[in-house]
Amino acid sequence: MDIKELEKEYIIDTYGRQPEATLLIERGEGVYVWDDGGRRYLDFVSGLAVNNLGHCHPQVVEAVRRQAGCLMHTSNLYYTRQQTLLAERLVQLSCAKKVFFCNSGTETNEAAIKLARKYGKQVKGGDAYEIITAYRSFHGRTLASLTATGQPKYHKGFEPLVPGFRYAHFNDLQSFAEQVTEKTAAILVEPVQGEGGVYPAAPEFLQGLRRLCDEHNLLLIFDEVQCGMGRTGKLFAYEHYGVEPDIFTLAKALGGGLPIGVMAAGEKAADILAPGEHASTFGGNSVVCAAAHAVLDVLTGEGFLEHVARLGEYFTGRLQELSPVKTREIRSLGLMIGLEMTEGAADCARLCQEEGLLVNCIGGKILRFLPPLIITEEHVDAAICILQNVFDRLP
């Protein structure tokens, strides 16, 4: 029995894999992966924005090897060096005062939701526990983060959902203002909606949310799980907007391929949670924190983020050369890019794979590009050549 047959028999079917289309990836290096037949693919999915430095980046690999040979795991009952130094580094690089470590984007958003509820009761008083999120958002798969996600298709079958969430329209400040009540504790949004189709926030929208939260003494929470860690050409996406959130969440790319989540809290929120009110067994594990240090070394290196911004503009410009008959809209910030097609996006993604390019289709109509941040113009040109060939093959 081969791997695909074994997977079908022993793994719960939550990913909707199609055996004839899904690769068995055996190894990765830089911007490429290889399947079990030895064929090479240009990877513009990057593990859904996890492999921002490409596959098996040598600095990350070396950091993991070194730390794994020294200390892999203890418990958060004790102090560990890598975790504490990573916390210090993240605070120094951002608007945060303190951080909490966990293992994934869902977990870090759950932590933010819990903190917001505690803030509402402790600081605002009364029954302030509600959080306003955006339609088309995505915040995770556990019950609270699933409820926070403003897409009904993800809710179906899991009712009753967690109470305490209201929804408003992204990039519509008035819509959010209308949802604020005496029960509101926080507003939670993504600076760039990723799973929703790559929709960047308008600067005036996030600036307006900051004013709204200040006016009503609410927490402003930014979910940067996908758009953070250099993906947009800034280390943190909020830096594009001149707005500092009270909480922001990170995961995905920070670990360089290993699981990590971070809830970063500013002055207004850093001291709300008390000992015993939240925890994570594996949060801040020494090995993944060592990997995160290596990731930050690269991301904060001279000229790296400028390279990301420049390649984002170059890639977006090349996409604009594709057939306008099949292209409805291109949305981007840095190297987080969505190409909305008039039709055939799923077929396009499948045909791209056949020709050696991995891209992601969202909702049957949007191609999402999340290439490694280390790509060059030559890699972009190769991807555009494949896309043009595929466009020519589509009816």
Phi, psi of 137 (to 5 degrees): -80, 170
* Residue 272 confidence class, pLDDT cut points 50, 70, 90: very high
State the Cα–Cα distance between residues 142 and 139, nearest whole angstrom: 9
* Residue 325 confidence class, pLDDT cut points 50, 70, 90: confident
Check if 138 is active-site.
yes
What was the pLDDT predicted at 275?
Answer: 95
Q: Per-residue pLDDT averaged across 249-268, rounded? A: 98
Q: Per-residue pLDDT averaged across 114-129, rounded? A: 94
Q: Per-residue pLDDT averaged across 124-153, rounded? A: 96
What was the pLDDT predicted at 39?
Answer: 97
Element (H, E) at 147: helix 143-148
What was the pLDDT predicted at 20?
Answer: 55
Check if 214 is active-site.
no
* Minimum mean pLDDT range among 131-145, 176-190, 302-316, 317-331: 317-331
Of the candidates 101, 138, 165, 236, the residue annotated as catalytic is 138
* pLDDT 10s digits, 88-108: 999 999 999 999 999 999 999
Is the pLDDT score of 57 beyond 80? Answer: yes
What was the pLDDT predicted at 5?
Answer: 85
What was the pLDDT predicted at 18?
Answer: 60
Is the pLDDT score of 126 beyond 90? Answer: no
Q: Any residues with CB less than 8 A from the CB of 348 and at least 6 apart, and which? A: 341, 359, 361, 367, 387, 390, 391, 394
Of the candidates 252, 268, 326, 369, the residue annotated as catalytic is 252
For residue 276, give both structure tokens.
């015993």
Is the pLDDT score of 121 beyond 90? Answer: yes
Cis peptide before 160 (omega within 30 of 0): yes
The residues with which 150 forms a beta bridge, in sequence order, are 135
Of the candidates 165, 176, 223, 326, the residue annotated as catalytic is 223
What was the pLDDT predicted at 1?
Answer: 65
Q: Which of 186, 189, 214, 215 is nearest to 201 (CA)?
A: 189
Angle between helices 286-299 and 58-68 (to 10 degrees): 150
* pLDDT 10s digits, 335-349: 999 999 999 999 999
State the pairing for strand pair 366-369/360-362. antiparallel
Taken in order of first residue, the domains within the chain and their CATH numbers are 3-57+303-393 (3.90.1150.10), 59-299 (3.40.640.10)
Check if 2 is active-site.
no
Which whole-number Å values give the CA distances from 97 to 85, 209, 247, 332, in the listed order?
A: 14, 21, 10, 30
Q: Which of 62, 51, 55 is nearest to 287 (CA)?
A: 62
Phi, psi of 252 (to 5 degrees): 35, -100
Q: Which of 58, 56, 60 is nearest to 29 (CA)?
A: 56
Q: Which of 38, 53, 108, 16 is nearest to 370 (CA)?
A: 53
Is the pLDDT score of 378 beyond 60? Answer: yes
What was the pLDDT predicted at 162?
Answer: 97
What was the pLDDT predicted at 21?
Answer: 62
Element (H, E) at 51: none
Average pLDDT, the chain: 96
